[in-house]
Amino acid sequence: MLTDLVELPGGSFRMGSTSFYPEEAPIHTVTVAPFAIERHPVTNAQFAEFVRDTGYVTVAERPLDPALYPGVAPGDLLPGALVFRATAGPVNLEDWRQWWDWAPGAYWRRPFGEGSDIAGKDDHPVVQVAYPDAGAYAAWAGRRLPTEAEFEYAARGGASSTYPWGEDPQPGGTLMANTWQGRFPYRNDGARGNGTARWTGTSPVGTFPPNGYGLVDMIGNVWEWTTTKYSGHHQMQPSNSCCPKSAEPDPSLIQTLKGGSHLCAPEYCHRYRPAARSPQSQDSSTTHIGFRCVA
């Protein structure tokens, strides 16, 4: 079953920010046409239905082409994906390789590689989906992926504040999104939403409060793909991105991610805000990137 759509009226809004990371500037006025967006990210159950119906094989399940990765050892060309591994203690936050690891055999059904699974997580956002995977699902669903402007417009929920809920990241001590709680990247106390569970990874969609448009997980939980190339109004290099940096030299193959994820933390990746953005190569599959569709 596809995610229900929420109709948005469209209109003009102030996009971007000058208060956090330089790549979010400049603030500029953007107008979006009316559109409809899925209420929550695509879940494991929904992606499984797509795969059953089409036999689709994700990017992470396909062997890597040696011609595209000269000098890489054959053992590192096996199908797999990037997974987050918490460190044993404090580390230099300038080197993302200390907490990202290539895991052979990792894909959407086994997001952390051999021995992992998604049992009991039908209602969690699907992860380990590259940009082509998200696009294939959207086409099957008769929908498309959002632009960066559409995503930010929807994520703001009609508000112009730093966060969709205001200026305080935790109003009244209430956690409004699934983000890192503790000290990144070694101690995560878990994000608590509408129940007693504390989530140290993805959480069921809708665990945290909706925004002004009734949309959930537009902030936190998983980063989400957009169709916008990492260029346009925001042409500055990202500062200290929490996502693995791409070696892809071709800017036409770099997409803009929006929304932040459960790995975003104040001291490292304060990107759980509508204006935040991050670049990612189209072939990247990780444990903190998902997507949703629009129509």
Question: Does residue 255 lie within any of the structural domains?
Answer: yes
Question: Does residue 71 lie within any of the structural domains?
Answer: yes
pLDDT at 74: 82
What lies within 8 Å, CB to CB, of 277 at 6+ separation is: 23, 24, 148, 230, 234, 238, 256, 257, 258, 271
Domain that holds residue 32: 5-290
Would you place residue 243 in the very low, low, confident or very high pLDDT band (cuts 50, 70, 90)?
Answer: low
Model confidence over 31-72: pLDDT tens digits?
Answer: 999 999 999 999 999 999 999 999 999 999 998 888 888 888
CATH of the domain at 137: 3.90.1580.10
Check if the beta carbon of residue 21 is closer than 8 Å to that of residue 239.
yes
pLDDT at 183 over 80: yes
Q: How many domains does the chain have?
A: 1
Question: Does residue 180 lie within any of the structural domains?
Answer: yes
Question: Does residue 116 lie within any of the structural domains?
Answer: yes
Alpha-carbon distance of 25 to 235, in angstroms, equals 9
Question: Does residue 114 lie within any of the structural domains?
Answer: yes
pLDDT at 19: 93
3-state secondary structure of 150: helix
Question: Does residue 295 lie within any of the structural domains?
Answer: no
Question: Does residue 195 lie within any of the structural domains?
Answer: yes
Check if the beta carbon of residue 264 is closer than 8 Å to that of residue 163.
no
Question: Does residue 126 lie within any of the structural domains?
Answer: yes
Model confidence over 130-156: pLDDT tens digits?
Answer: 999 999 999 999 999 999 999 999 999
